[in-house]
Each structure stands twice: as structure tokens, then as C-alpha cells.
């Protein structure tokens, strides 16, 4: 008999609609509760998905229901507290939106609490489920372009916003290598915020992976508009990949691959539920989210200190918060 799951949405902004639809697509999930500090957002989500119980805070929600699956769709600075509370309340799995959190201290607390509570922690780096990026990863792993030497990508948003998707995808394409050191710059000339946390207008990072590959990330308002386009230079060819497909040059000439793209919401939810049921670990577990958090914080620490930052990273918080003097 198919297991039925009860799900809850913590946070009812725009991204929560994608989480809700992914749960309902699965078929054996009922969304029984939601919460948001914004009553209008809460009411809209509850009406849209026929959610019977709405709350203004996550504590009330978790105290009132036995929730199996929790989606954390709030601002990044709340992710750790809400993930930890969900795990302690007995959730079987937590799907936390990106970025995972704003500091390694929070990331470790999230992972440790979920492990102690036997809660599966998944971070919504959903582009790992895109078949075109997966094909690109396979080609690189097979040696289609030789040894990758440089990977480059840019996007018009903050490092802690979609920078998390870029760094995660760079790691995914390269086989999730660890890094040796990071150099970064983040220009903050105004009181720029991303979801109420300090952020830069423009930023860049250079990551040296243990494999010898270098990664260059450019973020912010001055970058070109056609972002999330990954270019990889190898010793025997080159590869370019987007959500839409893969193009690469090897010793035989030009090649291309096109698969129907997806946004990954349904696929990451399916993988998470399979994991709960004893299946394989999904492509975006908490530990991989921690690795991305470490690199993002290292970029900001290098920007703050003006120095190269060696890994593993020692600082536990968010360097931009200290630099901005606000929270």
C-alpha cells in the first residue's frame, strides 16, 4: 500500500507555489498546513492549494501537526532555525530553499540536527535534476574535452542569491570536487539587501579546486543578461551548457545534445521522497549544500579581508553582515 505523507509550507512567497505543485504532482502527498508572517501571502497560498490550516509562525504549525515533509521557503537568515525546528518536531524530510543559510555554523547545525533526528535534509539546488546539465557532467567525466581547466559563469544577481545555483552547478558539472582556496571581491556602494540580508551590487570569485580546475564566477548588476551559461575549457576541447542543452567541441568536431528541460521542482521532490522510503541519496543533499555555503562565505571573507582564503574555512558566520555592520 502506498504511503501517504503530510506536508507543510513554511513561508508562502512565490517559490512556495512551485514546492506545493511539486508535492501535489507526486500524488500521495497532502499539504495540510502553511505559515507566513504575511497574512495576505498565507491566505493566497491556502486558498490556491486548499490548505486547511494556516499559521503566522512555524512553531505553532509544528506544534499542531505531525508533519512528514517540510518545505522551507522563507528568507535565508531564517532557514537554519526553521530547519532545526522541523527536524526536532519529527519531520521525515526537510526541503530547504537556496541558499542553504548564511554561514557554516548554521549549515553544520542544520546537518547535525537532521542527522540526530533521522531527518533527510535536501537543499533546493534543483538544476542538478536538469537532463542537459546531467549530460554535460557525464561528458566531462568521460573525458570528452580532456581535463577541465577553467569553468566560467555569470548572472545578474547577488552571490547569496543565484550565486548559490552557479557555484553548486560548477561543482556538479565537475563531479563535486573540493576546493583548496578562494579569492573574491564584492562591491557594496549602497545599502543593498537580498531578502533583508546585506548583499553586493557586483561581485566575483575565483575558486581553485583540488583537481586543478579553476572556476570563475561573476555576479551582479553589471554582468550580461544571458546568464546561467556555463563555459568549460578542457585540455582536448571545450563545452558550453545551459538549461536548454549542451554544445561541445572535441577531436571529432562540433557536437550537440538537447533534452526537454525541466525546472527540477518535481524531480527533486520525487528524489527526496524516494530517499525517505529507503532509496538512494538525492543529487542535492544537505552536505553538498554545505560545500556550496563554504565557497560562498569564502568569497565574501576574501572580499572582506582583501586576502586569498584557504579552505577549509574557519569562520562560522556571514562576512558581509560584519562588513555592512547590519543584519
Of the candidates 318, 270, 223, 260, the one whose C-alpha atom is nearest the C-alpha of residue 93 is 270
Res 164: pLDDT: 96
| Position 326 pLDDT exceeds 50 | no
Task: Summarize the confidence of residues 208-214 as an average pLDDT.
Answer: 98
Q: How many domains does the chain have?
A: 2
Distance CA 262, CA 1 (A): 30
- Where b means 16+ CB within 10 Å and e means fewer, 39-77 reads eebbeebbeebebeebbeebeebbeebebbbbbbbbebb
Residues 143-160: tens digit of each pLDDT: 999 999 999 999 989 999
Claim to verify: residue 148 and residue 231 sit in the same structural domain? yes
CATH of residue 97: 3.40.50.720
Claim to verify: residue 312 and residue 236 sit in the same structural domain? yes
Claim to verify: residue 147 and residue 172 sit in the same structural domain? yes
What share of the chain in percent tops pLDDT 70?
Answer: 99
Claim to verify: residue 155 and residue 237 sit in the same structural domain? yes
Claim to verify: residue 162 and residue 104 sit in the same structural domain? no
Residues 255-293: tens digit of each pLDDT: 999 999 999 999 999 999 999 999 999 999 999 999 999
Residue 50: domain span: 5-126+265-285
Claim to verify: residue 243 and residue 135 sit in the same structural domain? yes
pLDDT band at 327 (very low <50, low <70, confident <90, very high): very low
Claim to verify: residue 13 and residue 89 sit in the same structural domain? yes
Res 222: pLDDT: 87
Claim to verify: residue 183 and residue 91 sit in the same structural domain? no
Residues 69-104: tens digit of each pLDDT: 999 999 999 999 999 999 999 999 999 999 999 999
Task: Summarize the confidence of residues 9-14 as an average pLDDT.
Answer: 98
Task: Summarize the confidence of residues 121-125 as an average pLDDT.
Answer: 98
Claim to verify: residue 72 and residue 37 sit in the same structural domain? yes
Res 1: pLDDT: 56
Mean pLDDT of the chain: 96
Residues 34-55: tens digit of each pLDDT: 999 999 999 999 999 999 999 9
What sign results for the dihedral spanned by CA atoms 112, 113, 116, 119?
negative
Distance CA 56, CA 74 (A): 13
Claim to verify: residue 165 and residue 305 sit in the same structural domain? yes
Res 323: pLDDT: 84
Claim to verify: residue 119 and residue 187 sit in the same structural domain? no
Amino acid at each position: 500500500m502506498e504511503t501517504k505523507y503530510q506536508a507543510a509550507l513554511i513561508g508562502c512567497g512565490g517559490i512556495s507555489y512551485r514546492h506545493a505543485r511539486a508535492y501535489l504532482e507526486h500524488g500521495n502527498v497532502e499539504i495540510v498546513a502553511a505559515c507566513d508572517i504575511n497574512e495576505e501571502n498565507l491566505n493566497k497560498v491556502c486558498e490556491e492549494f486548499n490548505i486547511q490550516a494556516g499559521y503566522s509562525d512555524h512553531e505553532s504549525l509544528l506544534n499542531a501537526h505531525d508533519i512528514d515533509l517540510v518545505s522551507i521557503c522563507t528568507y535565508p537568515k531564517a532557514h537554519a532555525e526553521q530547519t532545526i525546528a522541523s527536524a526536532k518536531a519529527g519531520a521525515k524530510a526537510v526541503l530547504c530553499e537556496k541558499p542553504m543559510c548564511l554561514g557554516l555554523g548554521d549549515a553544520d547545525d542544520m546537518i547535525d540536527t537532521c542527522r540526530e533526528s533521522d531527518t533527510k535534509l535536501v537543499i533546493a539546488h534543483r538544476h542538478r535534476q536538469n537532463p542537459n546539465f546531467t549530460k554535460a557532467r557525464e561528458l566531462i567525466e568521460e573525458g570528452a574535452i580532456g581535463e577541465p581547466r577553467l569553468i566560467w559563469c555569470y548572472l545578474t544577481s547577488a552571490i547569496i542569491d543565484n550565486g548559490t545555483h552557479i557555484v553548486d552547478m560548477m561543482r556538479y558539472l565537475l563531479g563535486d570536487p573540493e576546493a583548496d582556496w578562494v579569492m573574491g571581491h564584492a562591491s557594496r556602494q549602497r545599502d543593498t539587501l537580498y531578502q533583508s540580508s546585506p548583499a553586493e551590487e557586483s561581485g566575483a570569485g575565483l575558486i581553485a579546486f583540488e583537481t586543478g580546475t579553476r572556476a570563475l564566477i561573476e555576479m551582479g548588476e553589471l554582468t550580461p543578461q544571458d546568464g546561467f551559461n556555463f563555459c568549460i575549457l578542457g585540455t582536448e576541447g571545450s563545452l558550453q551548457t545551459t538549461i536548454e542543452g549542451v554544445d561541445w567541441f572535441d577531436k571529432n568536431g562540433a557536437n550537440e545534445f538537447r533534452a526537454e528541460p525541466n525546472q527540477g521542482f518535481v524531480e527533486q521532490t520525487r528524489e527526496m521522497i524516494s530517499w525517505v522510503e529507503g532509496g538512494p541519496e538525492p543529487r542535492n543533499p544537505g552536505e553538498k549544500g554545505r560545500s556550496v555555503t563554504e565557497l560562498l562565505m569564502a568569497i565574501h571573507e576574501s572580499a572582506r579581508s582583501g586576502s586569498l582564503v584557504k579552505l577549509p574555512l574557519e569562520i562560522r558566520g556571514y562576512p558581509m553582515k560584519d562588513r555592512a555592520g547590519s543584519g
